[in-house]
């Protein structure tokens, strides 16, 4: 009992995950408690490889056992606790939508904002809750006052929805959008920072950084790029779609001005949830993408005039944060990087196989690209699914051509062994 109390006290600081009314507490507290107790004497590396501990986390998910999903980079499943929260809020909503949505569930947005701010390590008044990273980042891209001739630096390896938004501003208003073209993997921060710095001119106003390149998993040194940008008086936008809930950092660590993320990727929040962060003193100057009665106001809530949307999805985010906090950000990052390196190191030795992503921890986590000489990404992706029932995604984008493999906390070692066997057999056929 004492042990239980000590555990709950330790975890009590964690954003309500174990509060009496939390679904997480009802469903998982006891299992998580004994799993945590069993590994607490181990080093971080040993915990990352402790299958007994991770099997408790795996059981919290409801994924289909008939195929192996290794495309968590696209979107991630939610654990049962999050799904149940959404279902519960949905049933409540349908008892009387306008009453339950606008008078009851609406009350949950401020505690949720607080909880996300706690996880992100920032001021509550800097967080807006929305539907995805595209909405968050397009809000900033279209909301900035820029005039013809002002320059923005991004890369050809950024996400298409952001590239297209910048190009639309270029077409419509005559801003200048410059795209660097990196040949990843790169294991040298200075080289990346220098490439951005070399593109700066007196007209540069914005640097757009994708924290983790979705195509291939390269982690960019966002903080170092931002520090360099600041020394030139340039503002920084970070696309954290893949890093939030995966890498153990807090938004202010990045020294950026604007940050957008999906919550339905590594955080495992309900599908259709996202978050925008804007440095407090910059809120006033960003126009809302939709509308608001006070568009130049300094209240972050001006970005939440989204019209009618899914309150159950929004409120389900809270249980995803509980789940995340109960594992711990660093532990989750270590585990997922361990899983990525587990399979990738094995197949890297196989003739005809090429790994397209760094093995160094500072340059990659979770996402990793692989190819087999003599097979297109489409052929490899197709063979993995048709023959082995392993779901991945073929990537052909700019100078990148590979299959993207992305495990998550629920991925089992046996599933990765199956992947290794599949890639080895397919590569053997190309000898």
Ligand X SMILES: Cc1ncc(COP(=O)(O)O)c(C=O)c1O
Residues in touch with ligand X (CB under 6 A): 132-134, 159, 161, 210, 214, 239, 241-242, 262, 274
Per the DSSP assignment, residues forming a β-bridge with 362 are: none
The residue written with tokens 């200075």 in the block is: 190
Comparing CB distances to ligand X, the nearer of 132 and 268 is: 132
Comparing CB distances to ligand X, the nearer of 179 and 424 is: 179
Please state, in angstroms and rounded to a whole number, the distance separating the CA atoms of residues 412 and 416. Answer: 7
Comparing CB distances to ligand X, the nearer of 35 and 241 is: 241
Phi, psi of 278 (to 5 degrees): -130, 130
Comparing CB distances to ligand X, the nearer of 214 and 371 is: 214
Phi, psi of 165 (to 5 degrees): -65, -45
* Integer-rounded Cα radius of gyration of the chain: 22
Minimum distance, C-beta of residue 134 to ligand X, in the bound complex (Å): 3
Minimum distance, C-beta of residue 242 to ligand X, in the bound complex (Å): 6
Comparing CB distances to ligand X, the nearer of 25 and 71 is: 71
Minimum distance, C-beta of residue 377 to ligand X, in the bound complex (Å): 17
Q: Nearest to residue 148, comparing CAs of 179, 178, 169?
A: 169
Minimum distance, C-beta of residue 262 to ligand X, in the bound complex (Å): 3
Minimum distance, C-beta of residue 212 to ligand X, in the bound complex (Å): 7
H helical segments located in 50-96: 51-58, 80-93
Enumerate residues 6+ apart whose C-beta is below 8 A from 231. Answer: none
Residue 270, phi-psi category: left (phi > 0), alpha (psi -120 to 50), beta (remainder): beta
Compute the 3-state secondary structure of the chain and give helix, strand, coil in percent, each to the nearest 5.
50, 15, 35
Minimum distance, C-beta of residue 407 to ligand X, in the bound complex (Å): 16
Could you tell me if 107 and 123 are in contact, meaning their C-beta atoms sit under 8 angstroms apart? Answer: no
Minimum distance, C-beta of residue 184 to ligand X, in the bound complex (Å): 13
Minimum distance, C-beta of residue 292 to ligand X, in the bound complex (Å): 21
Comparing CB distances to ligand X, the nearer of 50 and 398 is: 398
Comparing CB distances to ligand X, the nearer of 161 and 255 is: 161
- The conformation of residue 361, written as its DSSP 8-state character, comes to G
- CA dist list (Å): 293 to 107, 232, 297: 21, 34, 9
HSE toward the beta carbon, residue 138, CA cutoff 13 A: 18
Comparing CB distances to ligand X, the nearer of 159 and 182 is: 159
Enumerate residues 6+ apart whose C-beta is below 8 A from 399. Answer: 156, 181, 183
């Amino acid at each position: 009992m004492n042990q239980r109390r000590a555990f709950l006290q330790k975890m009590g600081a964690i954003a309500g995950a174990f509060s009496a009314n939390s679904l997480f507490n009802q469903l998982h507290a006891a299992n998580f408690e004994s799993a945590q107790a069993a590994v607490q004497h181990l080093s971080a590396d040993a915990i990352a490889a402790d299958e007994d501990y991770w099997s408790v986390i795996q059981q919290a998910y409801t994924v289909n056992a008939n195929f192996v999903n290794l495309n968590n980079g696209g979107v991630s499943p939610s654990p049962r606790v999050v799904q149940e929260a959404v279902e519960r809020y949905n049933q409540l909503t349908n008892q009387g939508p306008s009453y339950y949505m606008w008078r009851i569930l609406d009350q949950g947005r401020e505690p949720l904002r607080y909880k996300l701010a706690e996880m992100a390590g920032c001021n509550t008044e800097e967080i807006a809750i929305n539907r995805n990273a595209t909405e968050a980042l397009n809000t900033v891209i279209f909301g900035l006052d820029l005039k013809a001739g002002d320059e923005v630096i991004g890369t050809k390896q950024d996400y298409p929805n952001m590239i297209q938004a910048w190009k639309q501003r270029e077409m419509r208003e005559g801003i200048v959008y410059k795209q660097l073209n990196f040949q990843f993997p790169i294991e040298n921060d200075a080289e990346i920072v220098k490439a951005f710095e070399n593109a700066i001119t007196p007209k540069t106003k914005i640097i757009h950084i994708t924290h983790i390149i979705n195509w291939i998993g390269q982690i960019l040194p966002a903080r170092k790029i931002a520090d360099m940008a600041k020394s030139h008086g340039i503002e920084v936008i970070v696309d954290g779609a893949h890093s939030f809930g995966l890498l153990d950092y807090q938004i202010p660590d990045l020294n950026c001005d604007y940050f957008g993320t999906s919550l339905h990727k590594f955080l495992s929040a309900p599908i259709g949830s996202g978050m925008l962060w804007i440095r407090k003193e910059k809120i006033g100057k960003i126009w809302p993408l939709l509308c608001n009665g006070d568009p130049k106001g300094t209240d972050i809530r001006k970005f939440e005039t989204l019209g009618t949307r899914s309150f159950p999805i929004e409120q389900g985010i809270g249980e995803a944060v509980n789940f995340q906090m109960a594992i711990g950000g660093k532990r989750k990052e270590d585990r997922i990087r361990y899983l990525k390196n587990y399979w990738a190191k094995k197949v890297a030795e196989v003739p005809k196989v090429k790994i397209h992503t760094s093995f160094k921890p500072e340059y990659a986590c979770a996402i990793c690209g692989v190819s087999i000489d003599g097979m297109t990404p489409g052929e490899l992706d197709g063979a993995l699914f048709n023959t082995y029932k392993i779901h991945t995604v073929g990537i052909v984008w700019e100078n990148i051509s590979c299959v993207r493999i992305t495990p998550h906390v629920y991925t089992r070692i046996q599933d990765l062994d199956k992947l290794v066997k599949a890639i080895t057999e397919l590569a053997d056929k190309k000898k």
